[in-house]
Amino acid sequence: MSEHRSQLSWQRKEHPEDNTTFCRNHTLTLNGGQVINASSAASFLGDAQASDPEQLLVAAVSSCHMLTFLAVADVKGFKVENYQDDAVGYLTKAERGKVVSRIELNATVTFSGEKQPTEKELDRLHDSAHRNCFIANSIKADVEVMKKS
């Protein structure tokens, strides 16, 4: 088992645009001292210039899928040169309230070397990465890999 920690810091102050409510801005501090400016989504009175929890969830799924994909590709003998993803999360209304119900990963992968995956092999790499992604296995949202490579 491993532990993964973050620290959150929030201090009450007046909302910059609506003095009837509080400011949602806060900071998240991660390993190595990286500080992320965070807030709620702009549609929930948050700061559009800051990361919101829904965005961070989508980024976590995207990052985990990529890291798992790179590991699987390496084991299979494929050399990945570049990996880009334009991931999108969808917040929808459900019985239990609003939820991130679906996350689409739109990865574009470039390989180098003589060994290039066929379309079927690429699908298997993404499928294996999805099955083994810790974050995707930890959430209820559907994660769809759109396989753009």
Please say if the pLDDT value at position 148 is more than 80.
no
Whether residue 17 is found in the same domain as residue 63:
no
Place 116 in a pLDDT band, splitting at 50, 70 and 90: very high
- Same domain, yes or no: 118 and 68: yes
Domain containing 64 — which CATH number?
A: 3.30.300.20
| pLDDT 10s digits, 27-55 | 999 998 999 999 999 999 999 999 999 99
* Mean pLDDT of the residues in the chain: 93
**pTM > 0.85:** yes
115: domain range? 53-145
In a domain, 63, yes or no: yes
pLDDT reported for residue 149:
61
Are 68 and 135 in a shared domain?
yes
The answer, yes or no, to whether residue 58 has pLDDT greater than 90, is yes
Whole-number Cα distances in Å, 90 to 37, 87, 100: 22, 10, 5
Contact 105, 145 (CB under 8 A): yes
